[in-house]
Structure 1
Amino acid sequence: MRPTSLFDQHPTFTPHPTAPLSQEFARLAQHMGWRKGSHEWRANKRRAYLQEFARHWGEDASRLDVWRRLCADVGVVEGEAGLGSVTKCKKALKTVHVNLVELVDAIRVGRRVRRFRNVAELKAYTNAGKNRVFPRDVAKEDGFVNVLLRVLS
């Protein structure tokens, strides 16, 4: 059984499960009247992203199969990286630069996630558009995603 998502908790809202999470959250926030940047908006955005990561990668950060899937999701090729342990997966992911909002959106819509050559390129892209900044506290808390967190300041 699929865990209840933030979207499921609002019966007057019809979610589109294959639409980008960033767009779906914006639609829900507008539907519910949550003012962008308000405490309620931030808390619900955080919940939506935590639930989405749990939906795709689970919550058990000790599982090698899930780490391998995350590697594959961001384009790390197992043969090249030797992904025989969680530690090797984490090491391989430390060299990958992806926008975390786009990562979630790409998984939801079934497309490849864009990789950046370095942190500077990732920073320029992230800062150039709206809704490209991932909630930092979610990334720090989630066992799978914090390995992809980059300092962009």
Structure 2
Amino acid sequence: MASGTQMELIRAWSRDIGHVVDTANSPKAEFARLAKAKGWEGGNETWRSRWKECFKEEYPYGQCRRLAGRNKAEALEDGGIHLEDRMRRLSIISDTSSFSVISRADSLDSVRSFDSHESFEDLGAAVDVPVSLNPASVSETNEYKDPIESERKPSLSSSECKADSNPAWAEFTNFVHSPTAHFKSEFERLAHIKNWTGNVKRQQFVSLLSSEVAFYWGTDGDKLEQHQEMCRDLGLTHIPGTVTQCKKALDPLKINLFTVIDNKRNPKIKIVQYESLSKLRKSIRKSGCFPRDAAKAGGGCFRSLLCRL
């Protein structure tokens, strides 16, 4: 469908609420603006059906996990249970997720001020599942590397705005999202452009972070699949068979959760695991706390990794 026709369709959907379409923006950016005005939740049935009607493609929000499930089903049809076993073993020992976005990290200011007074939930689950980490995907280190120190010049090339990146970023005008950037540095760049401060900045931060979790771990899937995927992402070599067992396996891990997000955006960024709570606490003083509201997205698979500091 031509962009002019897409804009006309978006304009037609806007009339009942008096929403004004900005023709200077791309159709997808205007769709995101309209969706927010209409109250469509990203990835729900209405959003997906409208997206498909307008752009003649499936909405990619949470597509990473859905595509993985579909590929697995196709593989089973082709090769049966033995192929499934091989795929499972490969996914467990792989150093990156098969559906991660390949990207390049960049940064600006940190958002370490967020959640500086927020405490995390104390889940306190007893561990009865053996935990073994694959060092290829998880880095056991004592230091959180601030994205500010790693790279200071963000690339704004439109070629970096890949179709398989989180489309929630397309809502914002005058901003070219780089899916190759650290999440926090990319958000800070957006906040600077939009002049967000205080509560507005925090609300937008939590909203976008939640959308990142939902995009990579799904919005409406099987919670067991979501928790098992998190176990694989963190390099566990034994993948539990129930949600409860997954939570118990994840609970003792001392992880900087922002590195989990950044690893999805750029598999070259190692997920940071710490040997002690004190070292994790020191890291989080630099990076800022991961909001509990954002941890609820993606089937809640981040919640087991929260700890009281």
Instruction: Please state which band the TM-score falls in when normalised by the shorter chain.
Output: 0.7 to 0.9
Question: Residue 108 in 1 paired to residue 265 in 2?
Answer: yes
Code of the aligned partner of 1:112: K
Q: Tell me what 1:125 maps to.
A: 283
3-state SS of 1:106 partner: helix
Alignment deviations for residues 57-77 of structure 1 (CA, whole Å, 9 cap, x no partner): 113474322211101112222
Code of the aligned partner of 2:263: A
Q: Tell me what 1:32 maps to.
A: 194
Residues 126 and 13 of structure 1, relative CA distance in 2, 3 Å threshold? same
Residue pairs, 1:2-17, within 5 angstroms? 2-3=60-61, 5-17=167-179
Aligned mates of 1:19, 1:105 — CA distance in 2 = 8
Q: Tell me what 1:66 maps to.
A: 226
User: Which ranges of structure 1 fall in alignment gaps of 5 or more residues?
Assistant: none
Q: Tell me what 1:91 maps to.
A: 248
- Is this contact kept in 1: 2:213–2:294, CA < 8 A? no
- Offset at residue 2 of structure 1 (A): 1.7
Alignment deviations for residues 87-114 of structure 1 (CA, whole Å, 9 cap, x no partner): 1111100111111122211221113301
Identity over the aligned pairs, expressed in percent? 29
- Is this contact kept in 2: 1:6–1:47, CA < 8 A? no
- Offset at residue 122 of structure 1 (A): 0.6
Alignment deviations for residues 24-60 of structure 1 (CA, whole Å, 9 cap, x no partner): 100100011112xx11101100001100000111134
Supply the RMSD in Å over aligned alpha carbons. Answer: 1.8
Q: Tell me what 1:148 maps to.
A: 305
- Is this contact kept in 1: 2:206–2:294, CA < 8 A? yes
Aligned mates of 2:304, 2:236 — CA distance in 1 = 14
For normalisation by structure 1, the TM-score amounts to 0.85
Alignment deviations for residues 105-137 of structure 1 (CA, whole Å, 9 cap, x no partner): 12211133011122222111211x2x4322233
Return the index of the structure with the highest Cα Rg.
2
3-state SS of 1:114 partner: strand
User: Which ranges of structure 2 fall in alignment gaps of 5 or more residues?
Assistant: 1-58, 62-165
Question: Residue 77 in 1 paired to residue 233 in 2?
Answer: no
Code of the aligned partner of 2:308: V
Aligned mates of 1:10, 1:146 — CA distance in 2 = 28
- Is this contact kept in 1: 2:254–2:305, CA < 8 A? yes
Q: Tell me what 2:202 maps to.
A: 42
Aligned mates of 2:293, 2:284 — CA distance in 1 = 17
For normalisation by structure 2, the TM-score amounts to 0.44
Aligned mates of 2:213, 2:293 — CA distance in 1 = 13
Aligned mates of 1:31, 1:136 — CA distance in 2 = 26
Aligned mates of 2:222, 2:60 — CA distance in 1 = 21
- Is this contact kept in 2: 1:57–1:66, CA < 8 A? yes
- Is this contact kept in 2: 1:67–1:86, CA < 8 A? yes
Q: Which residue of 268, 293, 304 corresponds with 1:137? A: 293
Aligned mates of 2:204, 2:292 — CA distance in 1 = 14
